[in-house]
Amino acid sequence: MSEPSVRTDRALFLDRDGTLIVDKVYLADPAGVELIPGTGAALRRARELGYKLFLFTNQSGIGRGYHTIDDTYRVNARLEELLALPRPVFADLCIAPEAPGQPSAYRKPSPRFIIEMIARHGLDPAQCYLVGDNASDHQAALNAGIHPIMVRTGKIDPGSIPEVARHGSPVFENLAAFVQTLA
C-alpha cells in the first residue's frame, strides 16, 4: 500500500506586519524585524501539511515616501532568515506599495493577488486561507472567496470583531493557534 500524497492545492496567504512579525509601523530597517513567537514553527507545520505560503503585504510607507521597495525586500529577507525554513519560504509574494487613496490593483482589500495566485499555482479556493490582523485582510479574503482568519497579534480593531463574527470568521490568539487547527 502506498503512502497518501500530500495535497499541493492549498495555501495560506499571510499578512506580514502584525501577523508574522511585530508591527513596527513603516518598518524599513531589517534589524527591527521581530518574529511573533511561534511563527517559525507554525509555518514549518503548515508546509509539512502541504500548504503553500504566500506573503501578502500592504506597504504604504513606500507610497508615502517613508522608505523604498528595496528596504521592504531587505526586511522580507530578514524575515525569511529568522524563520529558518528552507528557501524560498514563500511560493510567491505581493507587496502593494501604494498609499491609501493612490491607484492600486493589489492593495488589500483587493482580491486580485489572491485570484492570480490561485490560477498560477493551481490552488483550490476552498482550501485557502488569508491570515491577517485587520479589516482589509478580512475583506480581501472575502472578496477572493477564500477563508478569512483573524489573529489578535496585530492591529485587530475591536470594532471590526462584530463584522468578523457576522461572517463567521474565526479569531485566534496568533498564527500558531490557527495552524494547530489544520489537518
Find where cell 462584530 sits. 162
Torsion angle of C-alpha atoms 85, 53, 92, 147, degrees rounded to 10 = -160
Q: Residues near 183 by Cβ (< 8 Å), separated by ≥ 6?
A: 49
| Annotation marks residue 15 as catalytic | yes
Which is catalytic among the residues 9, 15, 92, 133? 15
| Annotation marks residue 124 as catalytic | no
> What's the CA gap between 134 and 121, in Å, rounded?
26
Which is catalytic among the residues 9, 17, 29, 71? 17
Q: Residues near 135 by Cβ (< 8 Å), separated by ≥ 6?
A: 109, 157, 160, 163
> For residue 162, how many C-alpha atoms fall within 13 Å in the half-sphere facing its CB?
1
Cis status of the peptide bond prior to 88, with omega within 30 of 0: yes
Q: In which region does residue 28 sit, left (phi positive, over 0), alpha (psi from -120 to 50) or beta (all else)?
A: alpha
Active-site residue list: 15, 17
